[in-house]
C-alpha cells in the first residue's frame, strides 16, 4: 500500500504531459480519454493490466458505484455477514456487473458498524437497471434509501476471481479546481502500476466524480493493510464477478 500512497514516478508523468500539452499524442487510448473528458462522456475503455501472470482481466470498466449504511453499535453484524453469504452468489449472474464487493466493518475491530457495497458496472444502463430493481428496493426497505455516489473509472486492475481478497481500503480525495485532470489521471495510473507489483494486492479501482470533483481509490488486499488516517478499512465478505464465485470460507 506504501507504493500506492507514495510519490508517483515524475519522469513518466512529465513525459506524458508534454505529449498531451504539445498536441503530439501518439497513444490513441490517451487521445480518446482526453476527448471523452472534454465532451463529458464516460471513458469506456479503461486499460486493464494483469497484476501477475495468473491474473484474470476484463475488457472494460465504465462506472464505479457505492452506497453505505452506518449501523447502530449494537447491530447484529454476525447476522449481516450470514445474509451476505446467502445472497452474494446471486450477483455473479447480474447483467452488466463487472464486480461487486460486499464490504463490512464492525466496532469489534475498532471501526464503525458499517455495510458498504461497492460495484463496478459496464455501463450506466446496467447500473440504472439495478437501482430500479426489486433487489435494490428490498435493501432500501431494510436499511433506508441511501445516497448513491458514482465515479468514472479512470483506472482498474483486477486479480484472480478464484482468490478472495479479505480486506479493502478506500481513500476519498478532493480535487482542487486548479488541478489539471490529465496530470491527475496519469499520476494515478503510475501509482497504481507501482502498487500492482505488491503480492498482497488483489485489485485496484480508481474513479473520478465530476459532480463533486472527488477522487476515490479502492484497493482489495489479500493481507491486512497498515492502518492510516483518512483511509477507510473493511472486510471483504464476498466478491462477485460475472459467472465467477469468490467467497470467504
CB 198 within 8 A of CB 177: no
> Can you tell me the distance from the alpha carbon of 27 to that of 15, in angstroms, rounded to the nearest whole number?
12
Q: Residue 83's pLDDT is what? A: 95
pLDDT tens string 74-102 = 999 999 999 999 999 899 989 999 999 99
> Can you tell me the distance from the alpha carbon of 146 to that of 132, in angstroms, rounded to the nearest whole number?
13
Largest CA distance in the chain: 59
> Can you tell me the distance from the alpha carbon of 156 to that of 46, in angstroms, rounded to the nearest whole number?
7
Does residue 228 have a pLDDT over 80? yes
Q: How far is CA 146 from CA 66, 115, 126, 143, in A?
A: 10, 11, 19, 8
Domains of the chain: 2-247 (3.30.70.100)
Q: What is the mean pLDDT of the chain?
A: 78
Higher-scoring residue by pLDDT: 21, 135 = 135
Q: Rg (Cα) of the chain, in Å, rounded?
A: 18
Backbone torsions φ then ψ of 59, nearest 5 degrees: -85, -40
Q: Residue 52's closest CA among 133, 143, 163, 149? A: 163
pLDDT tens string 37-84 = 433 333 333 333 333 333 333 345 479 999 999 999 999 999 999 999
Q: How far is CA 97 from CA 82, 196, 205, in A?
A: 23, 23, 14
**pLDDT bucket at 15, cuts 50 / 70 / 90:** very low
Does residue 7 have a pLDDT over 70? no
**pLDDT bucket at 29, cuts 50 / 70 / 90:** very low
**pLDDT bucket at 162, cuts 50 / 70 / 90:** confident
Does residue 239 have a pLDDT over 50? yes
Higher-scoring residue by pLDDT: 55, 236 = 236
Higher-scoring residue by pLDDT: 32, 44 = 32
> Can you tell me the distance from the alpha carbon of 120 to that of 66, in angstroms, rounded to the nearest whole number?
9
Q: Residue 53's pLDDT is what? A: 33
Amino acid at each position: 500500500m506504501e507504493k500506492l500512497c507514495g510519490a508517483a514516478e515524475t519522469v513518466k508523468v512529465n513525459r506524458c504531459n508534454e505529449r498531451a500539452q504539445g498536441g503530439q499524442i501518439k497513444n490513441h487510448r490517451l487521445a480518446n480519454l482526453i476527448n471523452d473528458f472534454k465532451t463529458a462522456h464516460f471513458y469506456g475503455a479503461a486499460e486493464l493490466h494483469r497484476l501477475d501472470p495468473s491474473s484474470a482481466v476484463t475488457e472494460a470498466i465504465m462506472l464505479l458505484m457505492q452506497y453505505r449504511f452506518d449501523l447502530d453499535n449494537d447491530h447484529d453484524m454476525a447476522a449481516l455477514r450470514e445474509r451476505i453469504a446467502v445472497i452474494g452468489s446471486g450477483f455473479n449472474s447480474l447483467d452488466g456487473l463487472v464486480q461487486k464487493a460486499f464490504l463490512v466493518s464492525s466496532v469489534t475491530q475498532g471501526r464503525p458498524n458499517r455495510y458498504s457495497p461497492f460495484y463496478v458496472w459496464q455501463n450506466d444502463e446496467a447500473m440504472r437497471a439495478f437501482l430500479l430493481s426489486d433487489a435494490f428496493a428490498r435493501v432500501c426497505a431494510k436499511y433506508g434509501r441511501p445516497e448513491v455516489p458514482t465515479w468514472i473509472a479512470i483506472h482498474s486492475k483486477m486479480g484472480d476471481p478464484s482468490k478472495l481478497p479479505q480486506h479493502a481500503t478506500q481513500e476519498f480525495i478532493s480535487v482542487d479546481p486548479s488541478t489539471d485532470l490529465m496530470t491527475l489521471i496519469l499520476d494515478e495510473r503510475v501509482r497504481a502500476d507501482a502498487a500492482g507489483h505488491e503480492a498482497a494486492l488483489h485489485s485496484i479501482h480508481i474513479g473520478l466524480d465530476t459532480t463533486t470533483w472527488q477522487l476515490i481509490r479502492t484497493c482489495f488486499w489479500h493481507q491486512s493493510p497498515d492502518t492510516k488516517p483518512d483511509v477507510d478499512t473493511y472486510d471483504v465478505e464476498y466478491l462477485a464477478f460475472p459467472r465467477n464465485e469468490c467467497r470467504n470460507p
